[in-house]
Amino acid sequence: MSTPPQAHVYTAVRTPFGRFGGALATSRPDDLAAGVLAAALARTDLDPAEVDEVVLGNANGAGEDNRNVARMAALLAGLPVSVPGSTVNRLCGSSLDAAMIGSRAIETGDAEVVLTGGVESMTRAPWVLPKPERAFPAGNAELVSTTLGWRLVNPRMPAEWTVSLGESNEQLQELHDVPRDRQDAFAARSHQLAHAAWEAGFYDDLVVPVDGVDLARDEGIRPDATPESLGALKPSFRPDGTITAGNASPLSDGASAVLLGSRAAADRIGRDPVARIAGRGTHAVEPHRFGYAPVEAANKALARAGIGWADVGVVELNEAFAVQSLVCVDAWLAQGLRDPEVVNTRGGAIALGHPLGASGGRVLGTLAAAMRSDGHRWGVAAICIGVGQGLAVVLENEQA
């Protein structure tokens, strides 16, 4: 009886992540996505016609990224018209979801090579105007920003579910008693580790330039950030709150790509796989408790991989907010994670940025590279998602 196919990560790339209104503001999201798709393929011997599917994540999809940005980006990247493309929207988890979908297609035999990833330009996210219910309305209409958070909310939704992302996390810190100074220390660590990783050359092979843009590194990193400097910032969501612009991820622009394939596809791809996708997990909670959702998503992924937290050598957790990251890490420590310092060893989204649709591909690619660099066999990539969801993937470094 033949062994079922398994999905592997072969290569991962991303753009530098730009600040809102920063260096990538003039770059269309479909061009950002096309650039990383082309860069990923350029690292292989693969005939682009042998890509079975392109699956990209995108959270907003109301502007230049509309009408299936995966298909648009594949065409702009020069892939043959015969290669299909599909866009996934699971908000912040979209590109990790894209990789999960691609891995399932490989494991079921529906595909051998799937090019996944995601893109977001939060700078270029448009304002939207709902169509009137009747023709020729006499009154004014309000434009709604699609950059972040709830919009055009159904009035039947419970009010406690639809509070802002920041207010949700203020509630989370009250529930779990995470003080301001601890959040600021975590955020400063993110900046310091991200800067150190760049200086050490860790990101040199993961990050590719954007055509026509002079941006070599992630634009939001502040090497001089300290708990004291971050502690001087004013709260953003409550007058007496703990969450600031310094201990939350910024609005960002960028794109990521992760090439997945079966083991049998290695000869055609022209390189050995970096890691095997060993487990996947999804979990949902009340919408305003979304920051905690990665806890059980990761536990499910570990169970499906047949391992526990004691086996995990490195974790990439998307830092939407310092408080939700700390709450997740605390829960995993209670469940057997050996050391909080194994989380985000090369910095996280507070420093690097969080372009919604691209972040899942970033955490997966960074995880695979960190596992190889540090010699860890097992790693976890996890991400929280607005409206109360979390995703996680377990990778195995088969050469460790």
Q: Is the pTM of this model over 0.95?
A: yes
Q: pLDDT tens digits, residue range 162-171?
A: 999 999 999 9
The answer for residues whose C-beta is within 8 angstroms of residue 317's C-beta and 6 or more apart is 294, 325, 328, 329, 343, 344, 348, 363, 380, 381, 382, 383
From 8, 283, 354, 376, active-site residue: 354
Mean pLDDT computed over 225-231: 97
- Report how far apart, in Å, the C-alpha atoms of 186 and of each of 20, 256, 343 are: 22, 25, 11
Q: How confident is the model at residue 4 (pLDDT cuts 50, 70, 90)?
A: confident
pLDDT value for 133: 87
Query: What is the set of domains in the chain, with CATH numbers?
Result: 7-121+250-395 (3.40.47.10)
Which of 8, 92, 328, 376 is the catalytic position? 92
Burial tier of 290 (Cβ tally within 10 Å: 0-12, 13-18, 19+): buried
Q: What are phi and psi of 13, to 5 degrees?
A: -140, 160
pLDDT, tens only, 32-82? 999 999 999 999 999 999 999 999 999 999 999 999 999 999 999 999 999
Chain mean pLDDT for the chain: 97
User: Is 288 annotated in the active site?
Assistant: no
- Model pLDDT for residues 107-134, shown as the tens digit of each residue: 999 999 999 999 999 999 999 998 888 8
E-strand spans in 252-296? 252-262, 275-284
Distance separating alpha carbons of residues 369 and 19, to the nearest angstrom: 24
Answer yes or no: 384 catalytic: yes
Q: Report residue 242 CA to chain centroid gap.
A: 24
pLDDT digits (tens, 9 = 90+) for 324-376: 999 999 999 999 999 999 999 999 999 999 999 999 999 999 999 999 999 99
Which residue is associated with the tokens 């502040």? Answer: 222
- Per-residue pLDDT band for 1 (boundaries 50, 70, 90) equals low
65 within 8 A of 57, measured Cβ to Cβ: no
Question: Catalytic residue at 354?
Answer: yes
Q: Are strands 7-14 and 252-262 parallel, antiparallel or unpaired?
A: antiparallel
pLDDT, tens digit (0-9, with 9 covering 90-100), for 152-194? 999 999 999 999 999 999 999 999 999 999 999 999 999 999 9
